[in-house]
Amino acid sequence: MATPAFPDTAAAEHAVLGGRHAVVTGASRGIGAAIADHLAALGADLTLIGRDAATLAPRQQEVVERYGVRAGAEVADVTDPDQVAAAMAAATDRLGPPVILVNNAGAAESAPFARTDAALLERMIGVNLGGTFLMTRQVVPAMVEAGFGRIVNIASTAGLKGYRYTTAYCTAKHAVIGLTRSLALELATTGVTVNAVCPGYTETDMVAGAVANIVEKTGKSAAEAKALLAANNPQGRLVEPGEVAAAVAWLCGPEAGAMTGQAITVAGGEVM
């Protein structure tokens, strides 16, 4: 009697998104880079979008060499409609219409409300909400036509609660959650799902910037400043980018078809 063959787990995982075209914004580092890795490990072909060609090119090469998928990189500012349209046209020409979009590009600035001017509010809304809106408009028609699509917006716990000194950022991220929920209902019968993932403070360059800001303004050490941020997490730590990426990757898969309009928190229990 022949010994039963066990499935090749790696091959099976690679087939989950095999051949599907996924676009990830803000893909050169941090959470975006981790998301690109997770999607490529599941077999997705990738378009990486960011503002810096020098950081995008190594990421593109790395996912091709490590995972054997096709990948392209497009330099674009997601707040610029013309740049977004050009990047998505090039991506579609290269790999076909995307059926997965991860809106990860974002920015955070902090200031007391008294020093939060219209320009700061405009910057936060422009990249966090406007970029998500512009990118999503590019992909929805083809996804609806295909009868399958996955849109995942990287929001924040700041989209679900308030934080001191971040009025503009919280406003923008709350708006991203609103966009997610409304569009999810609009597309509910099309096979296209729309969800948000809401990380708490995560070990990224953005948090490193927050640590530096605390150090500058309070005189605390970097370790003390980092501990202040980690204290928001009931687990007493910062979230790892790969933990956020794992949640995103699951939402992009075929088994997550009943998940739409959700804001999934990855924050160690900070928001329940």
What does the pLDDT read at residue 13?
Answer: 60
What does the pLDDT read at residue 18?
Answer: 94
DSSP 233: S
What does the pLDDT read at residue 3?
Answer: 46
What does the pLDDT read at residue 12?
Answer: 52
Active site residue 163: no
Nearest to 50 by CA among 92, 103, 100: 103
The phi, psi pair for 261, rounded to 5°, reads: 75, 15
Does this model's pTM top 0.75? yes
pLDDT along the chain (272 residues), means of 10: 48 78 96 97 98 94 96 98 98 98 96 97 98 98 97 98 96 98 98 98 80 78 84 92 97 97 97 93
Length of the chain: 272
Contact 113, 154 (CB under 8 A): no
State how far the Cα of 242 lies from the Cα of 1, in Å rounded to an integer: 43
Nearest to 229 by CA among 209, 249, 251, 243: 209
Q: Which of 163, 165, 169, 201 is catalytic?
A: 169
State how far the Cα of 90 lies from the Cα of 97, in Å rounded to an integer: 10
CATH 3.40.50.720 assigned to 18-200+241-258: yes
What does the pLDDT read at residue 1?
Answer: 43
Tokens representing residue 71 in the block: 């990948």
Nearest to 22 by CA among 38, 45, 3, 6: 45
What does the pLDDT read at residue 17?
Answer: 96
What does the pLDDT read at residue 14?
Answer: 63
Residue ranges of the domains in the chain?
A: 18-200+241-258, 203-238
What does the pLDDT read at residue 185?
Answer: 98
Q: How many CA atoms lie within 13 A of 162 on its CB side?
A: 4
Task: Report the chain's C-alpha Rg in angstroms.
Answer: 19
Q: DSSP readout, 80-139?
A: -HHHHHHHHHHHHHHH-S-SEEEE-------B-GGG--HHHHHHHIIIIIIHHHHHHHHH
